Structure 1
Amino acid sequence: MSASPPAPGAHPRPSPAGWLRIAARLLAMLAALLLATAAYGLCALFTRHNPVPRRFLRALGTIAGLRLRIRGELAHENTFLLANHVSWLDIPALAGASGCAFVAHDGLAAIGPLRWLCSLNDTVFIARHDRRSVGAQIEQVRTALADTGSLAIFPEGTTADGRELLPFKSSLLAAIESDLDHVAVQPVRLDYGEDAREIAWVGAESGIDNALRILARARPVTLTIHFLEPLSDEQRADRKVVAREARKAIAQDD
């Protein structure tokens, strides 16, 4: 995996037809959100394991033009998924393919509407610079696993260009370290193929500009999700070993 990221400003602004696609997709996403909100409240009356958030995320990916191909299989229930990170599309894709919840940095929690949406999907917010909160985060991890069966982490800590694999930060795995002896750890490679350079959110591009580019596309976005072999007992001795071995497995699968 090696390529230089696109230069800032390298992507053209959406065309008039692109703006029409953006408007249509945003309206469809809003309709999906309204339906999902009503369905979530209804399902919450009957089950603790609410299936609506994962189905809503999958619908968002489909509306955005995402087309999934799956290689391999999800290990089993109680699995930590460690994946490379290219785009915000990774989130609806992984949730749609595995039904997982996510571990995210606590910066996202400062955005009220986003925090609310994330909480519906059992997102665990990690305060990387506050060691006192690790105990609470561990309990949140266990609750999320009990509710969803799998929890996804992007150990790079940021998005890359889809070709170069950044170092995996073991600090992001602190909240799961105490459960490594009885929970599977499965590396996942997200491969956008020829679309990676166009989809990736890197450089000086704003998040809004990146989202608009993707929503303006006429062609679908093809993503192949490779569920790789779970790490062995020796490969999950501690979080530093997990970070190293998961990254190695993803890099070697290319």
Structure 2
Amino acid sequence: MLAKVRLIGKVLLIAVYTLPLILFQEVALRTGWWSDRSAPRLWHRLTLKVLGISVRLTGLPATERPLLIVSNHVSWTDILVLGSITGVHFVAKSEMRGWPVLGTFARLQRSVFVERERKRATPEQARELAERLSSGDPMVLFAEGTTGDGNRVLPFKSTLFGAAKLALESMQEGRVLVQPVAIAYLRRNGLPLDRRERGSLAWIGNMDFVPHLLALLGQKAIDVEVRFGEPIPFSADGDRKAVALNTERRVRQMLVVALRQR
């Protein structure tokens, strides 16, 4: 009974601050009076606290622009984790538009929505991402194209890396920085997670969002480490497949190091 009361309390707490921040973000987008990255970042931080997720950083996000941050992907909570660190925008799958709460914030955060199954739409989606990069928006790409179990990195899809090259066509800068990032879920209630436990935190395939959210709300404290690697310069004559492979290799290396030091 007490656990159910706590769960309801957490849901109500999220609701209390979500509506004002949505309105705040709407005003920011319509008027430009303040940064449209402030409200989402605050919402991500508050929601991590409610979920009991603590984030530890190794390395820092690059300050140079244009910047494409490329990360492994374990769960929808990765968005909260990365969004709480710095003001970023996400490349998200199109289905996310309809998600409760997160879908609304994804739209208001000016995410680029992609339909990975529609290959004909890829050039248009890459151009949209390129425009955002060239305008100075730091973009986050989950290059696996799906979520993994948190124990390994899946092969990166190179298609949207081509947006970095497209961005250079409309800019005077000679390069786009591609920064590899590894997200590692390490501990629950201070105790190291094993492979099975880490996999239970992942949000894989067609799992329903709300049951997964409720399960997380009932979890004990979770520790996450985010490792920012050295940015990889991508010039106009660069090979997107080579850059994708290099980024994948670095993310995999950082994840292995993080999991071994848990």
TM-score category (smaller protein): 0.7 to 0.9
**TM-score, structure 1 length as denominator?**
0.80
Q: Whose strand fraction is larger, Structure 1's or Structure 2's? A: 2
Corresponding residue for 2:82? Answer: 94
1:209 to 204, 208, 211: 211
1:136 and 1:171, CA in 2 relative to 1: closer, same or farther beyond 3 A?
closer
1:32 to 8, 14, 17: 17
Corresponding residue for 2:229? Answer: 228
Q: Residue 181 of structure 2 aligns to which amino acid in structure 1?
A: V
Q: How many residue pairs align between the two structures?
A: 236
1:72 and 1:175, CA in 2 relative to 1: closer, same or farther beyond 3 A?
same
CA RMSD after TM alignment: 2.7
5+ long unaligned stretches in structure 1: 1-15
Q: Which has the higher contact order (CA 8 A, sep 6+)?
A: 1
**Quick check: 158-167 or 16-25, which moved more?**
16-25
Q: Residue 178 of structure 2 aligns to which amino acid in structure 1?
A: V
Corresponding residue for 1:8? Answer: none
Alpha-carbon distance in structure 1 between the residues aligned to 2:208 and 2:101 = 19
1:199 and 1:182, CA in 2 relative to 1: closer, same or farther beyond 3 A?
same
Alpha-carbon distance in structure 2 between the residues aligned to 1:126 and 1:83 = 16
5+ long unaligned stretches in structure 2: 169-173, 187-191, 257-262
Is the Cα contact below 8 Å between 2:97 and 2:107 reproduced in 1? Answer: no
2:44 aligned with 1:57, yes or no? yes
Alpha-carbon distance in structure 2 between the residues aligned to 1:111 and 1:214 = 16
Shift of 1:185: 0.4
Alpha-carbon distance in structure 2 between the residues aligned to 1:33 and 1:27 = 10
1:155 and 1:252, CA in 2 relative to 1: closer, same or farther beyond 3 A?
same
Shift of 1:140: 4.9
Corresponding residue for 1:78? Answer: 66
Shift of 1:209: 2.7
Alpha-carbon distance in structure 2 between the residues aligned to 1:74 and 1:175 = 20
2:6 aligned with 1:21, yes or no? yes
Is the Cα contact below 8 Å between 1:98 and 1:150 reproduced in 2? Answer: no
Alpha-carbon distance in structure 1 between the residues aligned to 2:8 and 2:175 = 46
Per-residue CA distance 1:106-152 (angstroms, 9 max, x = gap): 232355875542121110012332535634652354336636x4110
**Quick check: 109-118 or 149-158, which moved more?**
109-118
2:111 to 98, 117, 123: 123
